[in-house]
Structure 1
Amino acid sequence: MKFTTLIVFMFLITVPVWAQLSSYDYVVSQDGSGDFVTVQEALDAVPDIRNHVTRILIKNGIYKEKLVLSGSKTNVFLIGEDKMRTVLTHDDYADKLNQFGERIGTSGSSSFYIYGDGFRAQNITFENSSGPVGQAVAVRVDADQVVFDNCRFLGFQDTLYPHGKNSRQYYRQCYIEGTTDFIFGWSTAVFEDCEIFSKKGGQYITAASTEQGQSFGFVFLNCHLTGDAPSGTVYLGRPWRDYAKTVYVNCEMDQHIHSQGWHNWGKTHAETTAYYAEYQSTGIGANTNNRANWTHQLTDAQAKDYELTKIFDGWNPNEEKSVEP
C-alpha cells in the first residue's frame, strides 16, 4: 500500500461519519456560516418527493425549534456535528394550552414531527425539555423506513412516539431515556445496541399499541437497560392497546427491572391478546423465575424470526440503499 493511500485510509477510519461525506446539500449553523440558521428552514428547502438523498449537516448548537418534516420531504438525512452538542429541542407538554385555550395533548407536545419517508438521522440529540410535567414527546415518527443512528432521545413521560401504524423504524446505538411509557405507539420499531435508561419516578419502559394482526411491534436486540429508578420498580412494558407486542432479545437488564417483568395495565383480558416475550437476556433484572405467567420465553427456533429483514418485511436498514456513497 502506498504511503499516501495509507494516510487517506487512516483518515477515513478516524474521523466521524459525517466528515467522511464528500458534500452536503445544506449546512445549518447558528453563526450564519451555513446556508441556514434554523433547522426548519433547511427542512422546508428540501425539494418535494426527491428520489435522491438530501444531506443536511447541522453544526453544534442548541436549536430550540418545534420542527415538522412534511410528508413531501422524502429521503432527508440529518447529520449532526456531535451528538452531545447538536441538540434539537422544544418544551411543549400535553397540558399546555394553545392560543385558543385548548389543551394541546400528547401528540401536540412533540418537539419534532417526522412524516417524510426515508428519513435518517445521525449524531443528534432530540429533546423535550419541559421536564416532569406529564406527557411530553421529543419525537413523533409517522414516516416509513426511518433510521436513527447514534442519536439521543431525552425526556420524561412519553419521550419517543413511533406513531405510524404502517411505519418501520430502526434505532441503532441510540440512547433513550424517560420515566413512564417513554417508548410508545403503533409502529414496528427495532432498537439494536441501544441504551434504554429509566429515570426516577417511572415504572414502565414501553406502552405498545400494536394493531391486531401486525406481526411485530417493538423489538429490542442486544440493548442495555439501565437507570437510576429504584431496584425492582420498572416494568418492561404494559399494553396501551390490547394487541401490544414487545420482545427483548439478548438484552442486559439491570436491577431496576421488576421481577414480574410485565404489567397488564389492569386489563386482564389483554393477557390473552398482548404478546410479550424475552430471549436469553442477562443481568439481575433478567431473572425469569417470577415473570408474569401470561408472558413468553422464546425458543431458539422462535428467536430466529427476530432478524431485521423478517421484522421489516424485506427492508434492511443496514444496506442504506437511500444513502449514496
Structure 2
Amino acid sequence: MKYRLASLLLMVCALTGLKASAAEWKHDIYVNPDGSADYTTVTEALDGIRAYMDYNVTVHIANGVYKEKVVIPSWLKNVTFEGQNADSTIITFDHHANIDNMGTFRTYTVKVEACDATFRNLTIENNAPQLGQAVALHTEGDRLRFINCRFLGNQDTIFTGGKNSRLYFDSCYIEGTTDFIFGPATAYFRKCDILSKRDSYITAASTPEDVKYGYIFDSCTLRALPEVTKVYLGRPWRPYAHTVFINCEMGSHIRPAGWHNWNNTDNERTARYGEYGSRGAGASQEGRVSWAMKVSDTEAADCLDIAKVFAVTTGWNPAE
C-alpha cells in the first residue's frame, strides 16, 4: 500500500510539474551575465523558448561579453534577440579552420538554423587570430533580419548559407579581410558600413544558377584601413555568383577592375556582377572588367524592390 501511495504522489508531482512548466513559457526573456536576470548566457536562454511556438518571443540581452558558441536550432521561430547596445552587447568566440582540422563551417560564433528570427543592437564576433577561415555569423535559416548589428572578424566573417534562404541586413557594420561575406543565400544589405582590413576581396557569392538574386548592396559605404589600397568588390565562389552594388559610396581602396574571376576565365561567362550609381574615389567605371553587367535603370529599380527580391519561394518583405 505504501508503494502504491508513493507512486501516486510521484505521478501527481510529475503532472503538476508539467503544468507549471507549460505556464512558465514567457514572451520576454532576460539575459545578464551578472546573474540578475532569467539567464546568464544566450545559450541557456534558448531553453526558455518553446519549440515551434506560434507567438513572438524577445530575448533581451544586457550589455556584456558573452564568450560562447551559440546554435539557434531549427525548431525555434518568431524570436527576436535584442541587445542592450550594439557596441557593448558582444557574443564572441575564437575558433578558426586550422584548429584540429576544424574546417570553415564549424568555426562559427553564432549559427542560426532557425527561421523567422531577428537580431538587433548586438555584436557577433570571431576574434580568432588570422590563421585561417573564422566565421562569426553562420546562417542556414530563412527570413532572418539583422538590424543595427556589428559583425567582427577577418576571413569569412559572414556565411550566408541555404539556397533560397533570405537575409536582410539593415544599418549594420561588417568588417573582414578575405571573402568576408560569402555563400549562396539571397541577402539584401541596406545602409551598411563595410570595412576591408586587408588587400583582398569583399564578397564571394555562390548564388545558384536558377536563383535570380544573390547579394544586393543598397546605399552602403565601403571603407578600408589606411594601409589597405587594393580591394575587389567580389569574386565568384561558384560560377553563377550574383552581386550588385547600387548607390554605394566606394573608397579609393576599390581596385579599378572592380571584380575578379577567381583565376578562372569560364567564370566571366556566368558571373552576374554589376553596379549602379556608384560614387566616391573608387567608383569610376572606366577600368572595370568588360564582363561585368551594365545595370539598367529598370534592373536597378528591380533590385531595390525588396518584396520582389525576396519573392523567391513565398512573399516576404522584412522592411514592413
Q: Same fold (TM over 0.5)?
A: yes
- Equivalent-residue separation in structure 2 for 1:24 and 1:281 (angstroms): 43
Please state whether the residue corresponding to 1:271 is helix, strand or coil. Answer: helix
AA aligned opposite 2:50 = P
Structure 1, residues 225-256: CA drift from partner, whole Å, max 9, x if none? 00116464000000000110000000000000
Alignment partner of 1:123 out of 113, 121, 124: 121
Structure 1, residues 43-65: CA drift from partner, whole Å, max 9, x if none? 23211111211100000000000
- Equivalent-residue separation in structure 2 for 1:113 and 1:202 (angstroms): 27
Q: Which runs of 4+ in 1 moved over 3 A?
A: 229-232
In the alignment, does 2:36 pair up with 1:38? no
- In structure 2, relative to structure 1, the CA distance for the partners of 1:187 and 1:229 (3 Å cut) is farther
In the alignment, does 2:222 pair up with 1:225? yes
Percent of pairs identical after alignment? 45
Alignment partner of 1:204 out of 201, 206, 220: 201
AA aligned opposite 1:105 = G
In the alignment, does 2:290 pair up with 1:293? yes
Structure 1, residues 185-224: CA drift from partner, whole Å, max 9, x if none? 010000000001001x341000001111101001000000
Alignment partner of 2:72 out of 54, 69, 91: 69
AA aligned opposite 1:163 = G
AA aligned opposite 1:305 = D
- Equivalent-residue separation in structure 2 for 1:191 and 1:229 (angstroms): 24
Query: Does structure 2 retain, via aligned residues, the 8 Å contact 1:94–1:106?
Result: yes
AA aligned opposite 1:170 = Y
Match of 1:95 in 2: 98
Match of 1:28 in 2: 31
- Equivalent-residue separation in structure 1 for 2:226 and 2:183 (angstroms): 23
Q: CA deviation at 1:297?
A: 2.6
Query: Does structure 2 retain, via aligned residues, the 8 Å contact 1:94–1:134?
Result: yes
Query: Unpaired segments of 5 or more residues in structure 1?
Result: 1-22, 98-102, 320-325
Please state whether the residue corresponding to 1:181 is helix, strand or coil. Answer: coil
In the alignment, does 2:265 pair up with 1:262? no
Please state whether the residue corresponding to 1:83 is helix, strand or coil. Answer: coil
- Equivalent-residue separation in structure 2 for 1:129 and 1:250 (angstroms): 31
Q: CA deviation at 1:133?
A: 1.6
Structure 1, residues 122-152: CA drift from partner, whole Å, max 9, x if none? 0000000103121000010111000000000
Please state whether the residue corresponding to 1:27 is helix, strand or coil. Answer: strand
Please state whether the residue corresponding to 1:305 is helix, strand or coil. Answer: helix
Query: Does structure 2 retain, via aligned residues, the 8 Å contact 1:149–1:172?
Result: yes
Structure 1, residues 126-181: CA drift from partner, whole Å, max 9, x if none? 00010312100001011100000000000000000111112100000000000000
Please state whether the residue corresponding to 2:282 is helix, strand or coil. Answer: helix
Structure 1, residues 49-87: CA drift from partner, whole Å, max 9, x if none? 112111000000000000000000111100000110000
- In structure 2, relative to structure 1, the CA distance for the partners of 1:206 and 1:252 (3 Å cut) is same
- Equivalent-residue separation in structure 2 for 1:290 and 1:232 (angstroms): 16
Match of 2:132 in 1: 134
Match of 2:83 in 1: 80
Question: What is the TM-score normalised by the length of structure 2?
Answer: 0.89
Match of 1:162 in 2: 160
In the alignment, does 2:179 pair up with 1:178? no
- Equivalent-residue separation in structure 1 for 2:108 and 2:114 (angstroms): 16
- Equivalent-residue separation in structure 1 for 2:269 and 2:46 (angstroms): 44
Query: Does structure 1 retain, via aligned residues, the 8 Å contact 2:199–2:228?
Result: no
- Equivalent-residue separation in structure 2 for 1:316 and 1:310 (angstroms): 9
- Equivalent-residue separation in structure 2 for 1:173 and 1:248 (angstroms): 15
Number of aligned positions between the proteins: 291
- Equivalent-residue separation in structure 1 for 2:250 and 2:41 (angstroms): 39
- Equivalent-residue separation in structure 1 for 2:61 and 2:219 (angstroms): 29
Query: Unpaired segments of 5 or more residues in structure 2?
Result: 1-25
- Equivalent-residue separation in structure 2 for 1:124 and 1:310 (angstroms): 28
Question: What is the TM-score normalised by the length of structure 1?
Answer: 0.88
- Equivalent-residue separation in structure 2 for 1:134 and 1:44 (angstroms): 32
Match of 1:191 in 2: 189
Q: Which moved more, 1:249-258 or 1:127-136?
A: 127-136
Query: Does structure 2 retain, via aligned residues, the 8 Å contact 1:74–1:117?
Result: yes
AA aligned opposite 2:195 = F
